[in-house]
Amino acid sequence: MVFVAIVFAFLIPGVTEAWDGHRLIHERLIPSIEASGKGYLAQRVRVPCQEEERRETESLARKLGVNVTKIPIHSTFKCGKKNSSSEVTVRDLLLSDWIDEPDFGMDQDLPSEADPAGDRAWMGGVSGPTSQGFRHMFFPGFNWSSPVHSLQIPFRPVGQALERIKSLRSAADRYRQEKNLFWALRVLTWELHLIQDLHQPFHVTQVPNIRMLPWKSLFKGFVGRSTRTMANYHYAYEGLIQEMLRERVEGSIAECLSGGGSRVFSDPVELISEPRREAEQLGRSLLGLLGDYPKSPSVNLPEGLGGIDYFKLTRGKPLFVNDEESDFLNREEKSEVERSVTVVGAVAAVKESTCSLFRTMGAYTRGELERFFADSSISINTGK
């Protein structure tokens, strides 16, 4: 009965966002590249005119099988006019909205041929914002040697993120070889987006920690409660990390992005190993920090029901929740000081797990940029 309940719990689409705002990650990451003296950041790239950009957007969308209507046209000038050209630096482009474009809808509402394995049924549905999840996540399948840690439905691998990274890398390299650096860099940022997505444990593990499921509701609305609960933990984790990234103090989590050197992967499957190893501990830390609040039937964070003051929480102020599933953080027998000590420890544990992930994510981001710019024979002074 328990197993059947878990199976049906995973049939319902959930949250599919990864890091909430990759641009903020780049705002913290790129300065470390600049400080290391990498000259490519200052190199300039020609921006095409509107008609050129629109034409190439349509061609690229067909090749990649994405929703062309959701790819923005950035150029502000028309072709054929005098002085109708513009140049920007590589640094500008890496800090632009390009890094977030894969979340603007290019992978949403796609035709059935884009999903031949039917992965969307398990990863967000076939329409709406969550329908992009199958291209931003990858669950490698159930492993009998580790049944609890690898729990997922279906047992087979699901998700296209690994294949999409290969496709985007190939497309970026092809544009680079053609010396079409505007599009080479734009597609490269889409690839970097997915590389970074896979360092979010909720994108490589269906249930980071089995205790996150609302077992008290096993015989009363378990399916719906499980779906909402996992979405709440996922969403709350995003909010916590966003708040931590905004801090500009010594020892902030942003500093984790500048460590770890650089790494280059030969196969994208290498990207998921550490996030999966870190998932259970991160889940335990989130439970210690948030308790059972995300399990409440009155809380649906993605839909704006309930709320968490991430600013106070990350600074040691505990949640105070009057709810049937209130947890140990909110029991009357604990003093405010005791609750604060508990929260401080849990915040530190979440930060430690995420810092490890950020080091690896930063290393792979830097490594992919260095790989891309390794061929010094390629001029990036043109966009044609």
Q: Which residue has the higher pLDDT, 156 or 221?
A: 156
What's the mean pLDDT in 170-188? 95
Name the nearest CA neighbour of 290 among 332, 236, 334, 370: 236
3-class DSSP assignment, residue 12:
coil
Which residue would you say has higher pLDDT here, 265 or 153? 265
The pLDDT of residue 197 is above 90: yes
Please indicate whether residue 323 or residue 97 has the higher confidence score (pLDDT): 97
What is the average pLDDT value for the chain, to the nearest integer? 84
pTM, two decimals, is 0.87
The whole-number pLDDT of residue 145 equals 74
pLDDT at 142: 78
Q: Give CA–CA dist 246/226, Å, rounded.
A: 31
**316 confidence band (pLDDT: 50, 70, 90):** confident
Burial of 44: CB neighbours in 10 Å, binned 0-12, 13-18, 19+: middle
CB-CB contact of 384 with 46 (8 Å): yes
- Rounded to 5 degrees, φ, ψ at 114 are -75, -15
Is residue 12 over pLDDT 70? no
The answer, yes or no, to whether residue 377 has pLDDT greater than 90, is no
Confidence check: pLDDT of 268 > 90: yes
Q: 141-150, 204-213, 246-255, 348-357: which has the minimum mean pLDDT?
A: 141-150
CA geometry: angle at 317 spanning 315 and 319, to 5°?
130
Comparing 175-179, 312-316, 324-328, 355-359, which segment has the lowest mean pLDDT? Answer: 324-328
Check residues 277 and 339 and name the one with the higher pLDDT: 277
pLDDT digits (tens, 9 = 90+) for 215-233: 888 888 787 788 889 889 9
The amino acid present at 184, given as its one-letter code, is: A
Alpha-carbon distance of 353 to 41, in angstroms, equals 30
- Average pLDDT, stretch 101-118? 95
pLDDT of residue 17: 59
**Cβ 202 vs Cβ 272: under 8 Å:** no
Mean pLDDT of 132-159: 84
